[in-house]
Amino acid sequence: MKKTTLYGIPNCDTVKKARTWLADNGHEFDFHDFKKQGLERATVAAWLEQLDWEVLVNRKGTTWRKLSDERRAAVVDKAGALELMLEAPSVIKRPVLAGAGPLHVGFSDDAYRQLFGCPAPQ
Tens digits of residue pLDDT in 58-94: 999 999 999 999 999 999 999 999 999 999 999 999 9
Is residue 42, in this structure, part of any structural domain at all? yes
pLDDT digits (tens, 9 = 90+) for 12-49: 999 999 999 999 999 999 999 998 999 999 999 999 99
Is residue 14, in this structure, part of any structural domain at all? yes
Is residue 121, in this structure, part of any structural domain at all? no
Is-catalytic flag, 118? no
Mean confidence (pLDDT) of the chain: 94
Q: Looking at residue 109, what is its pLDDT? A: 94
Is residue 34, in this structure, part of any structural domain at all? yes
pLDDT digits (tens, 9 = 90+) for 9-21: 999 999 999 999 9
Q: Looking at residue 101, what is its pLDDT? A: 86
Catalytic residue among 3, 5, 9, 12: 12
Structural domain that includes position 91: 5-116
Residue 85 sits in a domain of what CATH number? 3.40.30.10
Which pLDDT band holds residue 2 (cuts at 50, 70, 90)? low
Closest by CA to 82, choosing from 36, 51, 105, 48, is 48
Domain count, the chain: 1
Is residue 122, in this structure, part of any structural domain at all? no
Dump the DSSP string for the chain: -PPPEEEE-TT-HHHHHHHHHHHHTT---EEEETTTS---HHHHHHHHHHS-HHHHB-TTSHHHHHS-HHHHHT--SHHHHHHHHHH-GGGB-S-EEESSSS-EES--HHHHHHHHTPPPP-
Confidence (pTM): 0.92
